[in-house]
């Protein structure tokens, strides 16, 4: 039973910083309160030794580090005693001041040192050893110190954390408070990232009128960002955008439409006519426009069929001991003859065979070929089947330090990749922004070959690139449908094709790689899944419950959704033990040994592998928690040999991955897949979702649940439509339509 802890308030002085995370503001401090030296832990951004602080929280006992004071509320004031001021100035808080200079400054101004510098910063020139030039530098440092504190005090009354205040200062400096008072909605920008609802409350407290132009503009941006993030739309019909914004802002559609027109003229939004008018955020419009124009350029400069291509294909057949089907030969010819080409097909149709042939022929012609895929697992699988060094798209492009989630890469138009040909696998899950970045990094003469399965779900992030390219009718394209002999023996393959062709999968057989276990309740389904993962599959097939078996779910909800199944499977596969460290964050308790998935792109996080280091852990990467240090508020996660350090606050970027959604499984392939199929007979549970889940299994697939739910998913062909501009922009660029 949870017990409310008694909150205490301590006035203390910071003696030492044991640990500080600059991103989250989490700190472990040694503080003196009276005659006691106390360890304080919690979010305390921009704190420095010597500062006087007021801490509100409670004492707790840590098994390894003893008694700690867990800070819930943190307040600061500049030090007032000579000793504390000396410690503060020499702590590194002010660049250029060491212990000796701190002593001279405090000796001159005493306990009024900081107050005097605030009122008359030029007084620093009176201190021995400080030249005019040095004084100017120190004045800048003090202005930053006092400025950050002013911003913190200003935003504190609105409930904004100190970590966010530091971001605000970094963006606007001395202009910050004036900027916020004039337009609080600027706090919604990507670098700071406050939610619209939080900023709307600040605006109300600042007495901004509800129909303020900044509020309407920010509301429109919020609706577009939300729909990009949650629904995959890169744009919205104008009338729909205005209607949703009207509901959000509680304003008439006429007022909103008028502001939208003004902001379109100023370039804050972009518009595209296509029967209806569609409105974009600049980022998405410019990405799709670039993609359309670059692809159109590539299509204009097609190449003549190279001499001896048919002979090269014959020799490839001989070398591999196979005979290409007519459509496979056509696919190889089209891939070699065109600057831009798409190859699609379901499992077992020979996409890999064709790719290997294309790579071999291109390399024989002296072309340098780069191959990539959206996820680490997909890239690893591509390396295995091609014998080439495949990379994730992000690692091929190279990640640079940056704010937010903008795709800022080392390779771009100014610094293109050296490849003569780039092949992208699992293209269905590549979003609009990432694909535009890849095209920007391809040198002008580069050819691009895309492969994937157009029957799978679209990308998790905004866009529908593969389907838009195909449906434009502008792109050389081959779709493989024939299942080849070896693959035809797999029920996973034949049932996947049956589902695509509106046929009911074969569920009764028990002698192959596809099994159905009928259950009558959600609880029985969950129990069976846990038993399969923990006991039956390891015993019968030798599969590792963590490395080889993956539970994938249509939904997060109910007892057979990812949240509850993760808790159940964690308890079975990685139960709490004495000495095994853990902490609770959000929906889950995380402990050492847990299987986890990164659920958002983090371009800035650093990782280490075999003495090398790099940056970036990306949406869909799966790893294991190897170490938790609760005192320091950090944990280490191992992703395919790369170790990254997370603060406990960064746990919001992770989820347990014993069970993952079908959407999150895209681009991955697992030796064994276990999938619940029960309930949820809605439009969301559709054929594309079911097909994507089934095709994640490499050696074994087990469905657990209701045959009625299977039938529903096969019949349900409605897929949520995505609003995008790429198809229209491409047909305009290529055909002038």
Residues annotated in a binding site for ATP: 348-352
Per DSSP, the residues of 511-571 read: SSSEEEEE-SSHHHHHHHHHHIIIIIHHHHH---TTTTEEEEES-S-STTSHHHHHHHHHH
Beta strands, E only, 264-330: 270-273, 277-280
Q: Which residues contact 61 (CB under 8 A, 6 or more apart)?
A: 67, 68
What is the SS3 assignment for 77?
Answer: strand
Distance between CA atoms of 670 and 654, rounded to whole angstroms?
A: 20
Residue 718 burial by Cβ neighbours in a 10 Å radius (0-12, 13-18, 19+): exposed
What does the DSSP 8-state code read for residue 424? E
Q: Show the tokens assigned to 550.
A: 């993956």
SS3 sequence of 342-405: EEEECCCCCHHHHHHHHHHHHHHCCCCEEEEECCHHHHHHHHHHHCCCCEEHHHHHCECCCCCC
What is the dihedral sign for C-alpha 646, 649, 650, 656? positive
Contact indicator for 444, 339 with CB cutoff of 8 Å: no
Instruction: Could you list the residues known to form a binding site, using ranges.
Output: 348-352
Strand, helix or coil for residue 411: coil
* Rounded Cα–Cα distance for residues 723 and 626 (Å): 42
**8 A C-beta contact, residue 74 and residue 43:** yes
161-282-621 Cα angle (round to 5): 60
Task: Decide if 522 contacts 678 (C-beta within 8 A).
Answer: yes
Q: Is the dihedral of CA 416, 418, 423, 429 positive or negative?
A: negative
Three-class DSSP category at 8: strand
CA atoms within 13 A on the CB side of 375: 25
CB atoms within 10 A of CB 302: 11
Rounded CA separation 214/194 (Å): 15
Give residues with Cβ within 8 angstroms of 682, minimum separation 6. none
Q: Widest CA span of the chain, in angstroms?
A: 91
Structure tokens at 717: 């062909």
Q: Is 503 helix (H, G, I), strand (E, B) or coil?
A: coil
681 HSE (CA, 13 A, CB side): 11
* Helix, coil or strand: residue 34: coil
Alpha helix (H) ranges present in 110-192? 113-119, 132-156, 162-172, 176-182
- What's phi and psi for 593, nearest 5 deg? 95, -10
């Amino acid at each position: 039973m949870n017990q409310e802890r008694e909150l205490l308030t301590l006035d203390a002085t910071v003696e030492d910083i044991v640990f500080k995370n600059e991103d989250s503001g989490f700190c472990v401090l040694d503080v003196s309160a009276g005659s006691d030296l106390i360890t304080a832990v919690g979010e305390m951004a921009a704190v420095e030794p010597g500062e006087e602080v007021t801490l509100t929280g409670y004492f707790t006992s840590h098994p390894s580090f003893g008694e700690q004071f867990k800070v819930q509320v943190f307040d600061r004031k500049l030090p007032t005693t000579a000793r504390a001021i000396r410690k503060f100035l020499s702590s590194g808080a002010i660049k250029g001041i060491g212990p000796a200079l701190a002593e001279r400054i405090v000796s001159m101004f005493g306990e009024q040192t900081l107050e005097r510098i605030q009122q008359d910063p030029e007084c620093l020139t009176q201190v021995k050893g400080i030249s005019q030039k040095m004084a100017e530098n120190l004045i800048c440092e003090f202005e930053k110190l006092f400025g950050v504190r002013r911003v913190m005090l200003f935003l504190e009354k609105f409930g904004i954390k100190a970590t966010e205040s530091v971001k605000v200062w970094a963006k606007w400096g001395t202009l910050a408070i004036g900027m916020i008072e004039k337009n609080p909605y600027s706090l919604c920008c990507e670098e700071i990232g406050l939610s619209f609802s939080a900023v709307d409350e600040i605006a109300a407290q600042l007495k901004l009128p509800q129909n303020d132009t900044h509020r309407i503009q920010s509301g429109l941006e919020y609706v577009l960002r939300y729909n990009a993030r949650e629904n995959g739309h890169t744009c919205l019909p104008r009338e729909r955008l205005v209607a949703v914004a009207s509901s959000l802002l509680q304003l008439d559609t006429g007022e909103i439409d008028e502001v939208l027109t003004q902001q379109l003229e100023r370039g804050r939004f972009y518009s595209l006519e296509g029967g209806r008018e569609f409105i974009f955020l600049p980022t998405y419009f410019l990405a799709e426009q670039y993609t359309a124009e670059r692809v159109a350029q590539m299509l204009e400069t097609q190449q003549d069929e190279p001499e001896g291509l048919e002979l090269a294909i014959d020799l490839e057949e001989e070398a591999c001991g196979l005979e290409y089907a007519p459509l496979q030969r056509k696919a190889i010819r089209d891939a070699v003859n065109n600057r831009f080409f798409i190859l699609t097909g379901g499992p077992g149709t020979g996409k890999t065979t064709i790719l290997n042939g294309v790579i071999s022929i291109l390399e024989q012609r002296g072309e340098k070929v780069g191959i990539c895929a959206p996820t680490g697992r997909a890239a690893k699988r591509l390396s295995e089947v091609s014998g080439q060094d495949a990379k994730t798209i992000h690692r091929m492009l190279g990640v640079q330090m940056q704010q937010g989630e903008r795709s800022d890469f080392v390779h771009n138009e100014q610094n293109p990749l050296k490849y003569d040909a780039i092949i992208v696998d699992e293209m269905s899950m590549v979003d609009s922004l990432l694909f535009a970045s890849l095209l920007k990094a391809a040198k002008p003469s580069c050819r691009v070959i895309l492969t994937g399965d157009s029957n799978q779900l679209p990308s998790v992030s905004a866009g529908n690139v593969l389907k838009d390219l195909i449906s434009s009718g502008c792109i050389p394209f081959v779709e493989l449908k024939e299942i080849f002999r070896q693959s035809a023996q797999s029920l996973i393959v034949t049932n996947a094709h049956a589902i695509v062709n509106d046929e009911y999968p074969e569920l009764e057989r028990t002698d192959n790689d596809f099994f159905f276990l009928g259950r009558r309740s959600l609880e029985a389904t969950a129990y069976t899944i846990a038993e399969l993962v923990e006991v039956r599959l390891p015993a019968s097939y030798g599969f590792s419950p963590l490395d080889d078996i993956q539970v994938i779910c249509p939904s997060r909800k109910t007892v057979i959704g990812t949240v509850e199944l993760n808790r159940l499977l964690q308890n079975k596969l990685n139960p709490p033990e004495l000495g095994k460290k853990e902490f609770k964050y959000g929906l889950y308790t995380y402990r050492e040994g847990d299987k986890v998935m990164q659920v958002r792109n983090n371009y800035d996080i650093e990782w280490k592998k075999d003495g090398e280091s790099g940056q970036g852990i990306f949406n869909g990467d799966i790893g294991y928690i190897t170490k938790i240090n609760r005192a320091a508020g950090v944990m280490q996660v191992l992703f395919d040999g790369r170790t990254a350090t997370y603060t406990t606050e960064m746990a919001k970027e992770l989820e347990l991955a014993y069970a993952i959604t079908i959407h999150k499984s895209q681009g991955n392939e697992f030796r064994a897949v276990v999938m619940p199929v029960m309930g949820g007979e809605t439009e969301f549970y559709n054929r594309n979702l079911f097909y994507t889940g089934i095709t994640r299994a490499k050696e074994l697939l087990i469905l657990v649940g209701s045959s009625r739910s299977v039938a529903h998913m096969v019949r349900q062909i409605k897929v949520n439509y995505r609003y995008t501009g790429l198809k229209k922009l491409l047909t305009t660029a290529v055909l002038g339509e």
